[in-house]
Structure 1
Amino acid sequence: MNLSLEDVLAFPIFETAKIISGKNELGAKTVEWVSVIESPVENFVRENELVLSTGIGCYTDPHLFFDFVKDVYESGASALAIATGHYIYRIPEEIVDFAQKNKFVMIDLPWEVRFADIIHELTSAINRLQQDELLRLKEVQQELIEMYLTKKPFSSIVSVIEKELGLPVLVMNNKGNVAGGSAKLRDVWRMWNDMKTSEEAEESHHPIFSKMKQAESKDAQLFHMNIQSSEQNQGDFFVVAPPSYKMKLREANLIEQAVMVCALWLTSENAVAENKNIRQKEFVLSLTREDEASEQTIREEAQGLGFDIDLPYECLIGYPENLESLFYQDPNHNHQTKKSWLDKMMAYIEMELADAAQSIQRQVMYAREDDKMIIFLQASESVTQSSSNGTVNQFLDLVDRRLNKLLPGVVVSWGIGKHADGVMSFYRSYNKAASALEVGRKQKGTGKRYHFDNTKISRLILNLSKNEEVQEITMSTISPLVEYDEKREMDLINTFIVYNENAGNVSQAARVLNLHRQSLLYRLRKIESLTNLSLTNPDDVFLLDFSIKIWMSSGNRIDQHHL
């Protein structure tokens, strides 16, 4: 609750005062303190102060008096009360016009009204108000603690906090998962990631404000406090406010009390969640091993974690390719270690996976192993490949959209297991997804989706590339082109690939390569002379195409003893 200027001017001591400008602003102006100031103003006036003055420093010079009033207005004072009848007898019209134009409240105060009486009455009212606020703060604190002790839902606790603040809140645990609050995660994350400045939320020496950080955007402000317990981080407390909002001591005190209760709740919940996350990770990873536990053991563990394994699941493996580079692009990366940043990002990604699965009404089990995300997504009840791919693609479309909003520029490669493996086929599905991811990244590059059913040729080539005789034939065929490309930088290998993909059509291949037709013919003759193969002979073309595929499947690495 704030003391308005309208409340102040209703005090009996102001009965003889006259409001000469800004009458319509009385209800909107807040009075936090009262001060007596004479010229010059400089930085002695704070925002929301009622300023009292006799004008003694400027009454002989109208220009100085005007500058004095202007300085008080620009300081953010609630109002300026001039004691008239001794130094100042009448407030000049130009000053009144300035005050009216800028909606600044000016008060004509009779000389007989003592400043000391005004200060006494106003400070007494402010102190009473502060006592009332302190009492209300204690009541809220007790209410929150009572809710925690009686095990009320955390959402109810946060609702009370939001109601008292009149602002949306977001509470996150130490894994980056949302624990409660109505503020939007993406808005909070965007502002926090693009944080501009400010070690403190207010220009104040009060210790509460020194604990609070502030982020700003064109349409909102974000206030943040760490949630700690026994010097251990339990999570983050965010408050989203309008751009013009200025946090006061009451709200800061309330946030501090709220953070204390959140710390109590998160300490116990984080321990429970950590245990569940460990159990879930161990369970999901156990499904990826060839020596799976017995069906009865799997069923018991799944039931304890709330998973229904009597459904068909398809394995997806996601690999974020560029998280490390995104860390260094983050303007705030110096404020945290790379490991903590990556852990938080992976926690956000896991949360988006759960939300995406919920959106399409599918169950999902997931775990992180190193930088890979292992997901078992409930497959369609239908056994057709198209229906299975439809479910998977719908899920991944949602995930990709969410991740690109959360982490613009993130690149994720996905390996997708074979459809219709059925119930209790976890290891087979995982093995196929891992194979699809490995082969797909080597053959088609990063940032794509690789379905196991679509990698038959790639898998065949990858297996053949491990054969020593195949390696010998491949290297003897392709090494002259590799050496020539390294020396002349003519890129003969890519030239052949484009030529072959265009079915030997020289004009069409030249357009794709952005080459003159004669330049392409020169390159093709050079390929023939270096390899002793004819590009008009189907067998020779097959051998060269096969050798390039084998070479590329090995990551473009050449064993020097074959050269």
Structure 2
Amino acid sequence: MNLPVKEILAFPILRSATVKTGQRALTDRVVEWVSVIENPVENFVRENEFVLTTGIGCNQDEEQLLRFVEDVYESGASALAIATGRHVFDIPPIVSRFAEERNFILIEIPWEIRFADIVHEIMRHLMDDRIEQDERPKDIQQQLIQMILEGRTIQVIAAFIEAEIDKQVLIVNDKGEMVAGSANVTAVQSLWNEMKQNAVHVQESHHPRYSELRKVGRSGQQLYQFAIKSNGQFKGDFFILSTDENPLKRHELTIAEQAVVATSLWFSRNSAVMEAEGRMQNEFLLSLAIGKNMTTEHIQAHADLFKYDLELPYVCIVGLPENLGSLIFQQSTQSVSRKTDLEYMNSYIKDGIFYAADSINRRVLYAFKDDIILIFLETAVATTADTVNQFLDLVERRFLHLLPGVQFSWGIGKRVEGTANFKNSYQKAKAALDMGRGQVGIGKRTHFDDTQLSSLFVHLIANEEVKQILLSVISPLLAYDEGKGMDLIQTFSVYRKTSGNVSKTARELNLHRQSLLYRLRKIESLTGKSLVNPDDLFLLEFAVKLWSTGLVDKTE
């Protein structure tokens, strides 16, 4: 709510007024109020006032008039208008020199102009300006909502706000990444670091939003900060960078408040869009991995939508976070579901994977299903193993910071080209993961080519007769394990790994010798095979190894 002195002098009632000094300041000096004052000034004049006087208290004494003008100037008034013709006939040269040296606006008004008319005219314009400023935030609110509905970018919204408040803004997300705005990032970060310790709350309004506004100043700059929240969750920060000469005014703070609300809406809308697109990407990649029947046109349309280049050579990597469930249980509250926590953890896992891919300049396709993560990493013919290991080294190093304590098992498939081969690479990666966990242990990396029998197992399982023989041996053990929880398959695997040494097997499984013997007899009775018969022993071991590939469903 202010008017430049130049605009006030253009009012018809002041057409006969004469500007004696301070012509260069007519545009820059603004008026927020108008008052009539006589000597002495004391503390009756405030900053940015248009002061009217007759000079009656100066008793036609030039020195007294000079001191009066000095006091008005020191009070921060925008201009002083002296009515001449009764108590002051002419403005003395000594007064004019003082005002001119300080570029202070001194105006001579004919005695005939009534002060009441001048005050009325200035106040009318000031009130009109205030009403317009009070209405402006409402208009801006409607325009911002319309921008959100039209799907405008956050950059467009930020530019609109900057133009309205004549200040630079910076919008950052919850990860501290710049999203929009033209404010100097280094300056904002420097002031923001200081703000965290020395910020003061701005209390310009009774609105609760203002209690969340913080401000800090240094070296002629001022930084204002709003926290952006949506549904009670922190989404980022809205910064306004200003100067001591051009601080935020009351109506600009109101506009800033509307901008923060609009930014929160944009974050919510953008998050919903990204979640929907993420689900579509996830389902599409899973469909490629399991070999779902899709037309070439359908595949290409989705590849174009997600900007996937499916003709590049990829290798499939399947990962399993072994202890994610226990970590979630330790960190979660009763009000949050495990599914929600897994999705939350997945965002960190995804960040780590894309960070690693960017670091080695490779494209990556990512999906997850339940606890399993699925990766297709761009690779080359000669360096597939090296590229994968370098990539996983970076991923695990990243997880040390994002997900401390999480242990991953990895299965790496074969390098493939073309969408028709995605299923083949996924099956090999999944087989490598399952065989690695079963034969080597958890928390390891297993390449499909590391096990010489891997390829043979995959081909054998494709034979229906072999599959039925496998299930006839394994099914009784699985059924018993589900009811009793003894894990007879693991017991047999350790028994064969120790070459049938009962004592070593018992120690490795942490079992009493008699308990182990009971389990071994149970294996024999359930399968009808003898552990001392070489043929039966071979068939049992062969069936367990085939089962450990994970390529057979027990429900088949």
Residue 200 of structure 2 corresponds to residue 199 of structure 1: yes
Partners of 2:174 and 2:91 in 1: how far apart? 60
Task: Answer whether contact 1:382 1:388 (CA < 8 A) is retained.
Answer: no
Residue 120 of structure 2 corresponds to residue 120 of structure 1: yes
Gaps of 5+ in 2: 294-298, 318-346, 368-372, 399-409, 417-424, 437-442, 444-556
Partners of 2:229 and 2:104 in 1: how far apart? 44
The answer for the alignment partner of 1:550 in structure 2 is none
Partners of 2:79 and 2:129 in 1: how far apart? 20
Task: Answer whether contact 2:36 2:51 (CA < 8 A) is retained.
Answer: yes
The answer for the alignment partner of 1:35 in structure 2 is 35
In the alignment, residue 107 of structure 1 is paired with which amino acid? I
In the alignment, residue 17 of structure 1 is paired with which amino acid? A
Residue 236 of structure 2 corresponds to residue 235 of structure 1: yes
Partners of 1:30 and 1:14 in 2: how far apart? 17
Distance 1:87 1:197, change over 3 A: farther
Instruction: Please say which structure displays the higher CA radius of gyration.
Output: 2
Partners of 2:246 and 2:5 in 1: how far apart? 19
Q: Give matches, 1:212-361, under 5 Å.
A: 212-218=213-219, 220-229=221-230, 232-242=233-243, 244-271=245-272
C-alpha distance after superposition, 1:106-151 (max 9, x if no partner): 1122333222211110111122233344454443322222222233
Partners of 1:127 and 1:52 in 2: how far apart? 19
Post-superposition offset of 1:420: 13
Task: Answer whether contact 1:174 1:270 (CA < 8 A) is retained.
Answer: no
Partners of 1:59 and 1:205 in 2: how far apart? 45
Residue 135 of structure 2 corresponds to residue 142 of structure 1: no
The answer for the alignment partner of 2:161 in structure 1 is 161
Distance 1:83 1:378, change over 3 A: farther
Task: Answer whether contact 1:52 1:115 (CA < 8 A) is retained.
Answer: yes
Distance 1:88 1:155, change over 3 A: same
Q: Give matches, 1:428-447, under 5 Å.
A: none
In the alignment, residue 264 of structure 1 is paired with which amino acid? L
The answer for the alignment partner of 2:101 in structure 1 is 101
Partners of 1:352 and 1:62 in 2: how far apart? 79
3-state DSSP of counterpart to 2:91: coil
Partners of 1:37 and 1:3 in 2: how far apart? 20
In the alignment, residue 236 of structure 1 is paired with which amino acid? D
3-state DSSP of counterpart to 2:30: coil
Distance 1:312 1:128, change over 3 A: same
Residue 117 of structure 2 corresponds to residue 151 of structure 1: no
Task: Answer whether contact 1:383 1:420 (CA < 8 A) is retained.
Answer: no
In the alignment, residue 180 of structure 1 is paired with which amino acid? A
C-alpha distance after superposition, 1:38-76 (max 9, x if no partner): 455555544332122334555577556444433433443
Distance 1:252 1:143, change over 3 A: same
Post-superposition offset of 1:11: 0.9
Gaps of 5+ in 1: 287-292, 316-346, 368-373, 400-416, 432-437, 439-563
C-alpha distance after superposition, 1:269-308 (max 9, x if no partner): 3455578889999x99x9xxxxxx96889xx9x9798766
Post-superposition offset of 1:14: 1.4
TM-score, structure 1 length as denominator?
Answer: 0.51
Partners of 1:70 and 1:352 in 2: how far apart? 67
3-state DSSP of counterpart to 1:222: strand
3-state DSSP of counterpart to 1:139: helix
Task: Answer whether contact 2:364 2:378 (CA < 8 A) is retained.
Answer: no
Task: Answer whether contact 1:177 1:351 (CA < 8 A) is retained.
Answer: no
The answer for the alignment partner of 1:183 in structure 2 is 183
Partners of 1:223 and 1:68 in 2: how far apart? 39
In the alignment, residue 212 of structure 1 is paired with which amino acid? L
Partners of 2:236 and 2:141 in 1: how far apart? 20
3-state DSSP of counterpart to 1:245: coil
Distance 1:247 1:77, change over 3 A: farther
TM-score, structure 2 length as denominator?
Answer: 0.51
3-state DSSP of counterpart to 2:3: coil
C-alpha distance after superposition, 1:462-520 (max 9, x if no partner): xxxxxxxxxxxxxxxxxxxxxxxxxxxxxxxxxxxxxxxxxxxxxxxxxxxxxxxxxxx
Post-superposition offset of 1:231: 5.2
Distance 1:215 1:82, change over 3 A: same
C-alpha distance after superposition, 1:3-23 (max 9, x if no partner): 321110011221232211111
Distance 1:176 1:32, change over 3 A: same
Q: Which moved more, 1:56-65 or 1:248-257?
A: 56-65
Post-superposition offset of 1:84: 3.3
Partners of 2:77 and 2:144 in 1: how far apart? 36
Partners of 2:93 and 2:110 in 1: how far apart? 18
In the alignment, residue 258 of structure 2 is paired with which amino acid? Q
The answer for the alignment partner of 2:70 in structure 1 is 70
3-state DSSP of counterpart to 1:235: strand
3-state DSSP of counterpart to 2:82: strand
C-alpha distance after superposition, 1:57-98 (max 9, x if no partner): 555775564444334334432212223344444434333222
3-state DSSP of counterpart to 1:223: strand
Distance 1:80 1:252, change over 3 A: same
Post-superposition offset of 1:177: 4.2
Partners of 1:131 and 1:20 in 2: how far apart? 33
3-state DSSP of counterpart to 2:158: helix
3-state DSSP of counterpart to 1:194: helix
3-state DSSP of counterpart to 1:190: helix
Post-superposition offset of 1:352: 12
Partners of 2:130 and 2:15 in 1: how far apart? 25
3-state DSSP of counterpart to 2:47: coil
Partners of 1:421 and 1:67 in 2: how far apart? 93
The answer for the alignment partner of 2:24 in structure 1 is 24
Count of aligned pairs: 396
Distance 1:280 1:12, change over 3 A: same
Q: Which moved more, 1:118-127 or 1:251-260?
A: 251-260
Partners of 2:244 and 2:366 in 1: how far apart? 39
3-state DSSP of counterpart to 1:244: coil
